[in-house]
Chains A and B, each alone.
Chain A
Amino acid sequence: MDSEQSLAAAMESLRAIASGQRPPERERQRLVAEFARLHRRPAFAWSGWAAAAAIVALAAGLALRAPRPSAAADDMDGFVAVPYAAPVAPGEFLRVIRTELYVSALDRMGITVPAASTQVSAEVVLGQDGLPRAVRVIEDESN
């Protein structure tokens, strides 16, 4: 048997062994759980109608104006538009997530917030591309 044939035979054996290989079931379950987490509707402290109204108002505001750097003037129900963010397209799906942000990170986005600590809780409006369109800093309820 020459080396080419031996190699082909070894390939055949390896192919047969590999054909039964599958990722473990736990990997599939983990991914499905992560998928569900990513598509879970965000829970708000405010009512669903108020949230929807705020998002519609925000979308309309963002879509109508040209992007510009002055963030302070674009205050909508506490949300501040991210300067230079792409305008929201008509019918674009927006999501609001609640997260902790560094004040320095907000500063880099062009949003200045008066904050005593280095980190703040905030609600961030994300566009369909996953990029932030607006931010609302949540007041510390303990104060």
Chain B
Amino acid sequence: MEPSDEDLYDRMRRGDRRAFEQIYERRAPGLFRYAWHMTGSRSLAEETTQEAFLGLMQPNSRFNAERGSVQAYLYGTVRNLVRESRREPHSETESDLAVEHNIVGRLIADEAALALHAAIHGLPVAYRDAVVLCDLEERSYQEAAQLIGCPMGTVRSRLHRARAVLASKLKPRLAAVARR
């Protein structure tokens, strides 16, 4: 039987490097995708994912198994960093953004998907969270609620509103793509 994240965390605290690598292998891809959708930027996704794992490995880590899972801690850390990065003055220059846009543009050849990626990034964090976890990462309402730390009903209503905002924002774009 596969050890739980929390068992691996206990071993990791005692200096077991393999346990840390196992947690990383298991959680980093999903966390990175989440960070990528939440930030709209690959470089920010790399930074925030790394920060989350660095926080987890510190001797004075704020993770507490009684308060939630390792996953909830990692996703919560990324979410907080996303919130903070939006409050701080934007340090990216226009040319940085152009480079980033080209990278994402190359990555997302599909026009509708590119428009959606940008529109998701424009949503308030709470709505974005629900769309990314439920629609893009295909988490259940229950899993999403655990990761966000709110009731299932709240996830459901945020998701409903977020989809409505996205559909209205993307209506002309999606209609144009559909006509081709």
Q: Which A residues have a C-beta under 8 Å from some C-beta of B? A: 1, 3-4, 6-7, 9-11, 13-15, 17-19, 21-24, 27-28, 30-32, 34-36, 38-39, 93, 95, 126, 128-131
Contacts and interface: CB of A to CB of B under 8 A. Distances in A.
A77 to B, nearest CB: 23
B43 to A, nearest CB: 11
Given A1-B178, A6-B112, A10-B174, A23 B28 contact: yes
Contact of A14 (B117, B138, B171): B117
B112 A38 contact: no
B115 interface: yes
A13 B33 CA distance: 14
B9 interface: no
Nearest to A3: B167
B73 interface: no
In the A-B complex, the 3 residue pairs with the closest CB atoms: A130-B60, A6-B174, A13-B113
Nearest to A39: B15
B60 to A, nearest CB: 3
Contact of B110 (A17, A22, A34, A128): A17
B163 interface: yes
A130 B112 CA distance: 49
A12 B123 CA distance: 19
A134 B135 CA distance: 51
B49 interface: yes
Contact of B57 (A10, A34, A129): A34
B46 A27 contact: yes
B170 to A, nearest CB: 7
Contacts of A28: 21, 24, 28
Contacts of B170: 3, 6-7, 10
Contact of B177 (A6, A30, A35, A130): A6
B57 A31 contact: yes
Contacts of B167: 3-4, 7
A95 to B, nearest CB: 8
Contact of B116 (A3, A11, A19): A11
28 contacts: A1-B178, A3-B167, A3-B170, A6-B112, A7-B163, A7-B166, A7-B174, A10-B174, A17-B107, A17-B108, A17-B110, A17-B113, A23-B28, A23-B32, A23-B45, A23-B50, A27-B49, A28-B21, A30-B50, A31-B50, A31-B53, A32-B24, A35-B17, A35-B20, A38-B57, A95-B59, A129-B59, A130-B58
A93 B53 CA distance: 22
A21 B116 contact: no
